[in-house]
Structure 1
Amino acid sequence: MLVEEHYLQLRTHFSDEQNGEWIEVKLTKISEILYSTKRNANLLIKKMEDREWIKWSSGRGRGISSKIMFLKEKDILLVELAKSKVLSGDLHNAHSLLNTYDVSNEGGVMFSEWMEQQLGYHQKETSQQPLDILRFPFYRPIPFLDPAFAMRRTEVHIVKQLFDTLVIYNPNTETIEPHLAHHWTSDETNKVWTFYLRKGIRFHHGKTMTSLDVDYTLRRVQNPDTKSPHQWMVNGIKNITCIHDHAIQIELIEPNSLFVNVLISSKLSIVPNDLHEHEDFATLPIGTGPFSIKQNDKSKLLLRVNEHYFKERAHLDQIEIWIWPDETDEHRLKTLNFKYLVAPKNSLQDGKEFVELNRFENEIFYLVFNLHKQAPYQNANFRKAFHHAINRSLIIEELRGFRHKPASGFLPSNKIETYMNDYDLNKAKEELARSGYSGETIHLYIYEMQSNIENAQWIKRAAEKLGVHIEISVFPIEELRKKDVMMQADLIAAGEVFDTNIEIELIGLYRENGSFIGSLIGEKHREEIEDQIAKALRTSNKIQRLQLLNDIENIIRDRNSVIFLYHNRQNAVHHNSLKGVSLNALGWIEYRDLWLEK
């Protein structure tokens, strides 16, 4: 431990005492505070004296206590030490220091203002050429970046920067376009699909991509031993044949007009077939994408441009995501609320401006009942009571944040005004009385996130007005997605964000292993849902497919198996010198398009 931390330990213990005043204390007490021997405590005291942080008067004789006087302001030393940790790349310990030694509001502002200067756009001189670097904070580490297991929006977004898929979806033209595969065909039954791969594409570790890597990727996700939550996407594959290095044929069990849409998903991003040789693949994955990953730990996620990308090289050389858990620590770094702060605020004084982007996204927040349990909500009147007890406009008004519009379905386009405005507490109480509810506790499970906690507490208050007692339990999301944990819940409050591949995203709600809705919806719904999905997969008409999927939504809404709450909006703030900025369907910015106007 550094002498600075020993001083902070000592000063924190005597936090009620003022600088410049003598404090009587025995050396044995000092050694206890510092968790050291008396000899080491003496050495540390001498070092602090040499730095003029303290004055020390050693007691001589029986009954004469030693005395200490603090001279160095704790916050100044604490902030200086936290800064040094940040500059050395150890953001995790910098954050830990500020919390452990309880930085004051003034010290927090001092650190925030300095930290702000470190974020945004920077240029780093190297022996070859300057590197254009963009830094921004994020509230948690991002350790799970294997496409076969990516489920959260942030992980999926980073996967898209590191990997490529056979084909991609163009949201502007609403068409599927070539990507790793430059061409593809299907037979008239939509059971046999052939893909022709581009030549010369290399993974980040230098290996050339071939059809063997595509074969390995699909079989890996399909293999039950892999335990990928996305296994459903490839379960319909009967056989895979590598025709040659740059052509692969995939035979399906049943006709599937959406199979090429499935391959758009980043969860089926192509991985190298020597993946088993890389034990840390989940944290430091290897893809073919526009960026490669150089660091991923509790402090930082660092992406470096892929100089040999098969399409246009990204303009920025490096993206640094600095892990700073300010979402759960609201009195820290109040000035760092934006994902993309690319210039310090004092530049506003020079007449420069910041630009704010907003996107009303395909994100839904909802409640889903666990219909596998024998519980009061098996009665349809109970679920209907819950629906009437939720004032969707009020939850948005009171909790604010990114909550934007009341919801009546998974997508914002599915607007049913009568559903969204169906709050009626009297009617809710009448339905509850018909349900036979007799005061049982309803266990509401959520995953760790400040907005989820706010939602759950609001729902608990609404339920109390109805006369239903709710107990809230909070889990890490990886824990909550485990089936045995989910099955203990009565109710789960969660959110889903839909990428541009809407049809596959909607099917995934019901088929994905780990999906809250698919896992809890109950066997009574299962047969109806699977019948509708099967019809959609056989249908080549997109409008008809969407209608079939919408019919599933109607079923679960009409039975109140899922209570739709609200849709979110996403925003990003950036300096106007940053160009090529747009928010994607996941609410993030595509890094490959960013460039700096200098």
Structure 2
Amino acid sequence: MQKNKKLFALLTIVVVAALAASLFAGCKAATQTETTTAEAAAAETTTAEAAEEKTAETVSGEPVAGGIMRMHLNEPVSLDPPNAYESEGIQVVRQIWDGLFTYDPETLEVVPELCEKYEISDDLLTYTFYIKKGVKFHSGKELTAQDFVYSWTRVVLKDTASYLAYHLSAIEGYDAAQDGSSTELTGVKALDDYTLQVTLQYPYADFVNTLGHVVFYPVNQESIEAAGDKAGEIPDGTGPFKFVSWTHDQSIELVRNDDYYGQKAYLDGVLYVIIPEQETAFLEFQAGNLEFTEIPVGQRAATEADPALKDGTIIHPILGLYYYGMNLQAEPFKDNLALREAIIYAIDRQNICDIINEGISSPATGFVPPGIPGFQENAMDFTYDPEMAKQKLEEAGYPNGEGLETLNLGFNTGSGHEKLAEAIQADLAEIGITMEIEGFEWGTMLEKAASGEIIFFRLGWLADYPTMDNFLYSLFYSKSSDNYSEYSNPIVDELLVAARSTVDEDERIAKYREVEKTILKEAAFAPIYFYGTSRVVKTYVKGFVFDNMENYDLATVWLEQ
């Protein structure tokens, strides 16, 4: 989203979510991972051997090498990890890079990747990460701990700060780097070539959980400086696929990294085909020109009934929230709680989920979706209640909508948001609110919402990692760049930091639940539904797992034909 992450590119506004990181020596706990024998053997496979393998189609169902996986994509904003702040760029970046950690596709637990092992100090403030040896950037330079120091410092420094910098806010020295009073991130140090130490400002219980996010990926300083302002277009990663080309608004091409330190990919490469319209991409899939795409809005039943498509459908809940944002620092939403409440009461979420989304999604009952530890049933009091909406509209000073100017909703085109916007347009009309809708290209939509040019907009947030903090801190902490609604409450800021610092999980969850209910009572924006995903993949594609955060690893994928 994810955020979207993750800002979520397939939606009007997607806020991608991001993560935070830290390290040090002194041990309270340690986690160890070793390179497996299979990985070591795979690391010795030559390009010639890989080429030979891809001609060996097996009859036993075992993976075979070869082929190009063609994936539908919307135009990304950037392929530079700290600037890939939306879902489209993030999914490409995840194929080009590895991070300290990744997420298990089934359990979503963190799994060490570039991290050999790590230790946590007794006071929970210092983390020490031991980096795998022999890992190389695609340009040939060996990865060292200093690359993490450079990368994370670059994310937060005032002059180079990433949109996602707030994910590193728990690290010591963050504030000074952000305001320009320091040119270093003092909490991040390379003790030697393969030992990274991170010191936090306060204990952050979920810290390691955040480290699978792309904002923490290591970049090569030499490549970044050589690329200049083109750094987002010529990535130099550490992962199983290497970047080849990006033809804007057409395609992005990747090729297998035969010098990869781990298990090499089976695929020869990946072709991301950039198509802005969901329906057009689906037609290309049906014509055999794509291996993976979205199922367009309204076509779930037909796809599941199609003998040629039904076995490739991927439909399940995901950790995400779809909502309508309102800029709380702009009229008419500013200081008008009753107006915001009227809008929320007026929306028929069940109708949207059942009719438009064909049961793929479920009505939002709060900000944090099911599947996140700490999810609370019916966290918000708002239900579909047109009469209450009319009452609130009158309290707001606009009886039957009189005196209220037309609300202009912005959304990103091509992903089915028009139909939903039209349904909500009709809901609001029933209580006297006139709403006009206007679609924009994805990047333009994000810019206009961030600048305040659009004050009523559709957003989506997909989990970067499965914690309540990723939804509440990212979307509502006053200094978070994913806080598009410009919500600001000093008490909530304090409660969020207090929750982050609470070691006991039950106590921490209780504090986050308190924060969620507080923000819901302020009607910070209009929750619409909890996401479900609806994708389709060719049945000859094997080893493809699309997890509940909409992540996937193409290194495990192989083509049966």
TM (normalized to structure 2)?
0.75
Output one character per residue of 1:450-507: Cα deviation in whole Å (capped at 9) or x when no partner: 3223332322221111101223343334334347754243422211111334345222
| Residues matched between the structures, number | 466
Structure 1 match to 2:241 = 291
Whether the 8 Å contact between 1:193 and 1:249 is mirrored in structure 2 is yes
Query: Equivalent residue of 2:221, what SS?
Result: coil
Decide which of 159, 175, 181 is 1:225's aligned counterpart.
159
* Contact map agreement 2:449 2:457 (CA 8 A) in 1: no
- The equivalent residue for 2:383 is 422
Among 237, 249, 252, which residue is 2:172 paired with? 237
- Return the alpha-carbon distance in structure 2 between the equivalents of residues 297 and 187 of structure 1: 47
Distance 2:354 2:289 in 1: 22
CA distance in 1, matches of 2:146, 2:450: 38
In structure 2, how many angstroms separate the alpha carbons of the residues matched to 1:476 and 1:351?
32
d(CA) in 1 for partners of 2:107, 2:485: 36
2 CA distance for matches of 1:171 and 1:556? 31
- Which 10-residue stretch deviates more, 348-357 or 263-272? 348-357
Task: Pick the aligned partner of 1:470 from 430, 435, 456.
Answer: 435
Asked whether the 8 Å contact 2:120–2:127 carries over to 1, the reply is yes
Moved more, 278-287 or 496-505: 496-505
Residues 415, 249 of structure 1: alpha-carbon distance in 2 compared, 3 angstrom cutoff:
closer
Counterpart in the other structure of 1:257: 205
In structure 2, relative to structure 1, the CA distance for the partners of 1:420 and 1:490 (3 Å cut) is same
Residue by residue over 1:277-312, the C-alpha shift from the partner in whole angstroms, topping out at 9 and shown as x without a partner, is 124331221110111111211322112111222221
1:74-473 equivalence runs, <5 A: 132-138=66-72, 140-142=74-76, 144-170=78-104, 172=106, 175-235=109-169, 236-238=171-173, 239=186, 240-274=188-222, 275-279=224-228, 280-298=230-248, 299-327=250-278, 333=284, 335=286, 340=291, 354-375=311-332, 378-400=335-357, 403-413=360-370, 414=375, 416=377, 422-437=383-398, 438-473=403-438
Shift of 1:434: 1.8
CA contact (8 A) 1:182 1:197 kept: yes
- Residues 412 and 504 of structure 1, relative CA distance in 2, 3 Å threshold: closer
1-structure distance, mates of 2:290, 2:517: 36
1:93 maps to what in 2? none
Aligned to 1:32: none
Q: Which moved more, 1:539-548 or 1:215-224?
A: 539-548
Q: Secondary structure at the match of 1:566?
A: strand
**AA in 2 matched with 1:214:** F
Residue 489 in 1 paired to residue 424 in 2? no
- CA-to-aligned-CA distance 1:538-586 (integer Å, 9 cap, x gap): 1122333333223222122222222111123223333433221221234
CA gap 1:588/1:484 in 2 versus in 1, 3 angstroms: closer
Q: 1:505 to 1:157 in 2, by over 3 A?
A: farther
Equivalent-residue separation in structure 1 for 2:254 and 2:325 (angstroms): 37
Percentage identity across paired residues of the two chains: 22
**Do the aligned partners of residues 338 and 503 (structure 1) sit closer, same or farther apart at CA in structure 2, a change above 3 Å counting?**
farther
Residue number in structure 2 paired with 1:535: 498
CA RMSD of aligned residues (A): 3.3
Aligned residue number for residue 297 of structure 2: none
Q: CA distance change for structure 1 residues 462 and 567 in 2, over 3 Å: closer, same or farther? A: same
Q: Which residue of 2 aligns with 1:18?
A: none
Q: 1:511 to 1:321 in 2, by over 3 A?
A: same
Q: Secondary structure of 2:286's match?
A: coil
CA distance in 2, matches of 1:361, 1:278: 36
Q: Is the 8 A contact 2:376 2:513 kept in 1?
A: no
Cα displacement (A) at 1:515: 4.7
Q: Which string of whole-angstrom CA distances, capped at 9 and with x for unpartnered residues, describes residues 127-151 of structure 1?
A: 9965722343525333511111112
How has the CA–CA distance of structure 1 residues 589 and 332 changed in structure 2, closer, same or farther, with 3 Å as cutoff? Answer: same
* TM-aligned CA deviation for residue 428 of structure 1: 1.4
Displacement of 1:201 in angstroms is 0.5
Match of residue 23 from structure 2: none
In 2, Cα distance between the equivalents of 1:512 and 1:179? 32
Native 8 Å contact 2:138 2:242 kept in 1:
yes
Query: Given the alignment of the two structures, is residue 596 of structure 1 paired with residue 559 of structure 2, yes or no?
Result: yes
| 198-207 or 143-152, which deviates more | 143-152
Q: What TM-score results when the alignment is normalised by the length of structure 1?
A: 0.70
Could you tell me how far 1:221 is from its partner in structure 2? 0.5
Measured after TM superposition, the shift of residue 189 of structure 1 is: 1.9
Q: How does 1:535-574 map to 2 (within 5 A)?
A: 535-574=498-537
Matched residue type, 1:232: Y
TM-fit CA distance, 1:440: 2.2
Partner residue of 1:578 out of 527, 541, 544: 541
Contact 1:556/1:562, CA 8 A, preserved across alignment: no
With a CA cutoff of 8 Å and minimum separation of 6, indicate the structure with the bigger relative contact order.
2
Amino acid in structure 1 at the alignment position of 2:253: L
User: Which 5+ residue runs of structure 1 have no aligned equivalent?
Assistant: 1-124, 343-347
Distance 1:306 1:589 in 2: 17
**Contact 2:317–2:360 at 8 Å: present in 1 too?**
no
1:534–1:411 CA distance, 2 compared to 1 (3 A): closer
Alpha-carbon spacing, 1:338–1:494, altered in 2? closer, same or farther (3 Å): farther
Secondary structure of 1:226 counterpart: coil
- From 502, 505, 508, the equivalent of 2:474 is 508
| In structure 2, distance between residues paired with 1:351 and 1:583 | 20
TM-aligned CA distance change 1:276 to 1:542, over 3 Å: farther
Matched AA of 1:509: L
The amino acid that maps onto 1:260 is V
Letter in 2 for 1:557: L
CA contact (8 A) 1:557 1:563 kept: no
1:393 CA drift (Å): 1.1
Determine if contact 2:72/2:290 at 8 Å carries over to the other structure: yes
Deviation at 1:175, TM superposition (A): 4.2
SS of equivalent residue, structure 1 residue 453? helix
For residues 201 and 448 of structure 2, what CA distance do their matches in structure 1 show? 28
How many Å apart are 1:330 and its aligned residue? 8.8
Q: Compare the two structures and name the one with the higher helix fraction.
A: 1
Which one-letter code corresponds to 1:249 in the other structure?
Q
Contact 1:232/1:511 (<8 A) preserved: no
1:224-253 alpha-carbon deviations (Å, 9 max, x no partner)? 211301111223333232211111222233
